[in-house]
Amino acid sequence: MTADLYKQAGVDIDAGNEAAKRYARIGSLATRPEVASGIGGFSGGFRLDVTKYPEPLLVSGTDGVGTKIKVAFATNRHDTIGIDCVAMCVNDILTSGAEPLFFLDYLAVNALDVDVAEAVVSGVAEGCQQAGCALIGGETAEMGDVYQPGDYDLAGTAVGVVNASKAINGSTIEAGDVVLGLASTGIHSNGYSLVRKLLNDAGVAYSDTLPGFRGTVGEELLIPTAIYVKPVHRLLSSGVEIRGMAHITGGGLVENLPRVLPGGVSASLQMGSWEVQPVFQWLQETAKMSFAEAARVFNMGIGYVVIVPADQADQALKLLAEEGQKATVIGAIVSGAQTVEWDGDLA
């Protein structure tokens, strides 16, 4: 009787129990040897390997996927949005040189659809596998009087570790260093409020196709955010001196790259030095923005930046290519006031 009353109030206990069983199975696909207790209990446990990290500095990051989630609702595709959630968190903590260890997610729904929830969390597990971290816990909350029917929201937290003396903060960056741009897979997970407005104003549906798009508009927009953990850690383990890194999310290159620059220097970026995918060209043209304006909203084809000494740039590019990560030299560090400068035509 209690379960029936609670269901009438908007919470389905039986559906929650079924979802928890599926989560436990999914979580077993994204684990690490250090996991002491994972999904199913009241908390997750993780044994830190202090032989690998004798001076451990724990690094954490939390994020969601923004209004990209509205595209998942509209297209009824829910198996990739979890990858985005993991990516947004692990790429942030990666900028310090940290190794992601474990991840926890939070899924809030109007009413629990077990199949949709399973698809979302399966995406989270896939993201964790790509990042090499364990999915050790999470929470699913039914809040029918907060969310509209069919709606849900997803957020997560990643915890990683780096030896304190090896942590990267950009303080050693100097004029003459080289800026490497690691290619994005597309829009990633920011700017979707503007993307959706531009599509709506132009009368473009998610089922439509546009020149250069990889599939329908909806399929292009749901391409998951790239996870840069493995290629960047290949650089770190090889001995390449990484002096600074930036995850290019909301604010684009213009706002994110300066966050890692020390006083007295700027980043001079060379226009035309990297591929700008057709989706960005369409957005820029439709919004009637200059490239510099668009680069304050979107990643414009560069999802992550690594700054290295000039004499190590070729080695870094070679190692990234071996990991299947497309990258190129997109600029250099110059004397300046912690800004991004553009070299070339900004039309």
Q: For 143-171, what is each residue's pLDDT tens digit?
A: 988 999 999 999 999 999 999 999 999 99
Q: Which two tokens stand for residue 345?
A: 């035509």
As annotated, the residues of the chain forming the CATH 3.90.650.10 domain(s) are 178-343
Q: Is the pLDDT of residue 121 over 80?
A: yes
Q: Around Cβ 172, how many Cβ atoms within 10 Å?
A: 14
Query: Rounded to whole angstroms, how far apart are CA atoms 191 and 68?
Result: 8
Q: Is the pLDDT of residue 3 over 60?
A: no
Report the alpha-carbon distance of residue 228 to residue 91 in Å, rounded.
6
pLDDT at residue 36, rounded to an integer: 87
Query: Which pLDDT score, from 0 to 100, does residue 346 have?
Result: 59
Residue 102: which pLDDT band, with cuts at 50, 70 and 90? very high
Query: Tokens representing 107?
Result: 């899924």
CATH code, 178-343: 3.90.650.10
1 has a pLDDT exceeding 50: no
**Residue 85: pLDDT over 80:** yes
- Rounded CA gap, 274 and 258, in Å? 19
The domain at 2-166 falls in which architecture? 2-Layer Sandwich (3.30)
Percent of the chain with pLDDT over 70: 95
- Output the pLDDT for position 306: 98
pTM for the structure as a whole? 0.94
